[in-house]
Amino acid sequence: MVCVAVSAVSILSLLISGLGTSSSQTPGCNRTSTVDRQGCNRNVFRQVWPEVEPSSDGNTKHIFFGLMMSFGGDFRSHGAVPAVQVALKLINEDRDLLPGHTLHYTLLDSQCNRVEALDGLFTQLWQGPQKKLALLGAGCSVATEPTAEISHYYNITQISCVSSSTELANRARFKSYFQLLPSEADIAPAYFGVIQKYKWKRVALIVQNEN
């Protein structure tokens, strides 16, 4: 059943991986303060897309995973939250996929920051009311690397549909991490193919070193 549940989280990741996760400012949020704006984004999303509370049905077992996205910082990925809700609804309504079980998530904010991401992960591990089966996130490569480096110590499978750092391909470091978005190195041959096809003589690349 654990394998099936992890597979369900993987399906959920695939369902949202094709969507644009970068989001602009949430309407109605304070634009003058970065801290207030991040808190407002989180509150608005929790109101519009509230986390589904476990039912009291004694015949249903509830499985939880952490959903870590970025509501602020250099990259915002919280636009994926509505897609997660839709994917969860599809999974939970298919009684053949997880018979007798219901999948839930706990929303975490990495702020695209390694310290905030680690704090959120450890808070859930030590203080969260439910044991987390997996972690979906952490919203950007900067936040994903530190959490993916230690998640295997707690037997947590981590899956990301947003992070694309080439460092994350190191299986020796990231033992229980799985990446759905190709890294920049993986799509380099496609870039080269386009350059060859159109016989471009000069090409400019703008890159960012997030590490």
Instruction: Please give the average per-residue pLDDT across 122-142, as a whole number.
Output: 82
Q: What is the DSSP string of 144-183?
A: HHHHHHHGGGGT-EEEESS---GGGG-TTT-TTEEE-SPP
Output the six-digit token pair for 73: 């910082």
CB 105 within 8 A of CB 86: no
pLDDT above 50 for 207: yes
pLDDT above 80 for 142: yes
How confident is residue 209, by pLDDT bands cut at 50, 70 and 90?
A: low
pLDDT at 19: 44
How confident is residue 115, by pLDDT bands cut at 50, 70 and 90?
A: very high
Q: Is 127 left (phi over 0), alpha (psi -120 to 50) or beta?
A: alpha
Residues across the chain? 211
Cα 38 to the chain's mean position, in Å?
A: 17
Determine what percent of the chain is predicted with pLDDT higher than 90. 22
pLDDT at 107: 86
pLDDT at 23: 46
Range name among 53-57, 121-125, 169-173, 197-201 with the lowest pLDDT average? 53-57
More confident residue, 26 or 196: 196
- Choose among 62, 11, 71, 16: nearest CA to 40: 71
Q: At what angle do helices 2-17 and 81-93 cross, to 10 degrees?
A: 140
Distance of alpha carbon 71 from alpha carbon 188, whole angstroms: 29
More confident residue, 120 or 41: 120
pLDDT at 21: 47
pLDDT averaged over every residue in the chain? 78
More confident residue, 18 or 140: 140
List pLDDT tens digits, range 18-75. 444 444 445 455 544 555 555 565 565 555 555 666 666 667 888 889 899 888 777 7
pLDDT at 24: 45
- 123-to-41, 158, 182 alpha-carbon distances in Å: 21, 16, 30
List pLDDT tens digits, range 150-193. 999 999 999 998 888 888 989 999 999 998 888 877 888 998 99
pLDDT at 176: 94
| 128-99-138-15 Cα dihedral, nearest 10 degrees | -150
Instruction: Please give the average per-residue pLDDT across 78-104, as a whole number.
Output: 87
